[in-house]
Structure 1
């Protein structure tokens, strides 16, 4: 673990503890945030209301009438030390395959309504612009680079069920694209977009500023919990999940939509143990092992 500095602890009123692991997102900082969250949940302290890990921080909401401030802080600091000093830094999680119809007509129509005054390249498309700023030949190459490597769910929030994902590849090969100059007032539900180094998977229709890449056929937020993948919780993704996007054409997109309507659709997924050391030491080899676990 390269994070040698202690996290920064601060209080939000009487009910919130904020733990800032690092000023910037990194695999190491996100691993610490997720591991502390898991450890705190395992401790089952009375008075804990919610534990919210984010990109490089952690927010804990608690009832001060049931849990003293100093006890909570002491416990979290102990967990921080344990995580950073652990000889083996691993996290039990899962890898999920998410089908995406890239360059679809729905996001393409929407982006054309938000060009002049909204976008850096009014004359083009989001995919063309994304390829250009990454020095890639065309939109097809950008799409390939987007789906060929897994992504880590670094946080879930902003809108119910919306994940932010960090690409599991060396920093120099990560895709990075500026957000719109001015946010759109419309984004189709289940749009997959990119802003900065993060992919965002829009759970519902609404405003947005990420460059739109495609659209997914299956929900990631199911308040009615009608699909089996949502039997335990209405939100699909959890921090620490690993996502592999898979490109589909219109025919498969429609087929999956029909399965969703029938209540029979299941996401392809497999349990994995995420190893921070292996992911940092040889990302390409480690990604291959993750995909092998997903594909059996």
Structure 2
């Protein structure tokens, strides 16, 4: 894997680890950004990781761009030899699939969709070869997902499906973006799932909604008191299908300050994952539900 380095204006260096998203590319990007942060290079002011790339902002009055470029390439050699192991957490996120709020929204924007006669999840199930929406939901929620980056809008996670390439769900974005998306919509575009942290425009297919806030600038949500953004790169997510009654109960708990996400600490080894994807996923899910 050979990274590509380019300058972005006078104050940025963009590093593309790979053209395609993969956990291997993510781990190289993660290792490099960690190494840059630990090196405490004078003049580096910001490090922004992405799915298979990252960007470094710097002050050209404190470090020459060519000197920083050379330093980053040195750190890449160290990053590529680092053991791809991550101490992280697995989180269970409840999802009310085919909820009435995203359904009402998607029906207002059918003229912008590839299949105006179907709902988003019906379309996704069909083009991915599933014979029913129920089978598609089982596939979407059955295996864990890896948070590869957080951004676009505050707190929004991009999640990469942890299955072999042949089984990964692929769904295009809307032909033209919507001007509205309900807050906490679980969406899908390309090979990524996401959770819309706030209400606003969007182009991802809408599959459902979660009752669990993931961004709170006021930090009044009990589990967001320490930091307003819930997700961070490297988190592992397991979707949990719920019904309307369970959704309403969870919303009431959030409002009462008693809702607590199910979370377990885990160690993720990329080598173990590549050797046995399903076995690794099973062990992660066992850790999530171990008492």
What's the TM-score, normalizing by structure 1? 0.93
CA–CA distance in structure 1, aligned partners of residues 124 and 64 of structure 2: 49
The answer to whether the 8 A contact 2:171-2:188 is kept is: yes
5 Å-filtered alignment, 1:127-142, equals 127-142=121-136
Q: Deviations over 1:42-78 (max 9, x none)?
A: 2333433221111110111223334443453344223
- Report the count of equivalent residues: 290
Alignment partner of 1:65 is 2:65: no
CA–CA distance in structure 1, aligned partners of residues 95 and 21 of structure 2: 26
Alignment partner of 1:212 is 2:206: yes
- Structure 1, unaligned stretches of length 5 or more? none
CA–CA distance in structure 2, aligned partners of residues 230 and 48 of structure 1: 29
Structure 1, 184-193 or 75-84: larger mean CA deviation: 75-84
Quote the offset at 1:203 in angstroms.
0.7
Quote the offset at 1:274 in angstroms.
1.8
Partner of 2:138: 144
Q: Which of 244, 259, 268 does residue 274 from structure 1 map onto? A: 268
Q: Which of 81, 84, 92 does residue 80 from structure 2 map onto? A: 84
Q: Which of 225, 243, 247 does residue 249 from structure 1 map onto? A: 243
What's the C-alpha RMSD, in Å, of the aligned pairs? 1.6
CA–CA distance in structure 1, aligned partners of residues 105 and 230 of structure 2: 26
Partner of 1:38: 34
- Structure 2, unaligned stretches of length 5 or more? none
5 Å-filtered alignment, 1:82-231, equals 82-86=78-82, 88-115=83-110, 117-231=111-225
The answer to whether the 8 A contact 2:30-2:49 is kept is: yes
Alignment partner of 1:8 is 2:4: yes
What's the TM-score, normalizing by structure 2? 0.94
